[in-house]
Amino acid sequence: MTDVRFDGQVAIVTGAGVGLGRSHALGLAARGAKVVVNDLGGAVDGTGSGSDAAKAVVAEIQAMGGEAMANGADVSNAEQVSAMVADVIAQWGRIDILVNNAGILRDKTFAKMEMADFQAVMDVHLLGSANCAHAVWPHMVAQGYGRIVFTTSASGMFGNFGQSNYGAAKSGMLGLMNVLAIEGAKFDIRANMLAPSAATRMTESLLSEDVLALLQPETITPGVLALVSGDAPTKMILGAGAGCFAEIQIRESAGVALTDEALTPEAVLGAMEQIRDPAGAEVMDHAFAQTRKYARMAAAARGLPLPWND
């Protein structure tokens, strides 16, 4: 296998002043990319701002002989994101890679959470990722190439106590990623998601020192570099942590078809074991694949001709 390189390519990494973002920025630069180190410089909860962290990462990249620029755009602000992208195009003429990594935490149980805190987390994680993807999209379409990574979380895929806002934002990225992977295919724009388990300032108070030592950001960055490489997959959710990598998949069970007098809520409950049986589960390529599946099942159950033969 040829080495993964990014020579001549330009990458934007959001939230790149510390933690995972910093590691991703350094990893991209080490393999030849010009890197935009975006970081608002705020606290974990999103308050405050400052450019020192981003500038420090730029200095690290320059010290290793790479090219980088710092940018303090707030990803939840579409105008600031558009200005950032315009600056990158003016400086380097292209954008090949976007790693959406910026995020904040405002954890509370749903009963105690203020909706302003719910909105703030959605704005940074979900809307911020959409703002960045939307701003780089026309440039990737024009050049016929692009790689976009969204940073999701196990909290979004599987749930976690006290993180309704964070989980909703992180799972919302799934729908965005799926659609962009489909819409970007003809332009060789590939969209994927990373679900990291990492030792960062967001997790340092939750994990023991021994576990934190295993989950350093540097153990996850190789997965990101794979997802933004020329040979990257698309529409994939890559779980990563401590040098371990796995695919997280959303599958639909084979299910059952109920007809006529059996089409009742009681029958649905009675068939729940079969409905939830994982045997024969499959990944749907797109939303209409589910429609075709149900139409076929319903027609077969009623003895009608199949509506599709493909």
Report, as an integer, the average pLDDT of 102-125.
Answer: 97
Domains of the chain, by residue range, sit at 10-248, 260-301
Confidence of residue 308 (pLDDT cuts 50, 70, 90): low
Report, as an integer, the average pLDDT of 243-264.
Answer: 96
CB 103 within 8 A of CB 15: yes
pTM of the predicted structure, to 2 decimals: 0.93
Which tokens sit at 118?
A: 């719910």
Q: Is the per-residue pLDDT at 201 higher than 90?
A: no
Q: Is the per-residue pLDDT at 130 higher than 70?
A: yes
Q: Among this protein's residues, is 145 annotated catalytic? A: no
What are the pLDDT digits (tens) for 29-47?
A: 999 999 999 999 866 755 6
The residue whose two tokens read 């026309």 is 138
CA–CA separation, 307 and 10 (whole Å): 47
CATH number of 10-248: 3.40.50.720
The sign one gets for the Cα dihedral 244, 245, 248, 254 is negative
Residue tagged active-site, from 6, 137, 150, 166: 166
Q: Is the per-residue pLDDT at 86 higher than 90?
A: yes
pLDDT of 205: 59
Backbone angles phi, psi at 143, to 5 degrees: -90, -5
CA–CA separation, 237 and 247 (whole Å): 6
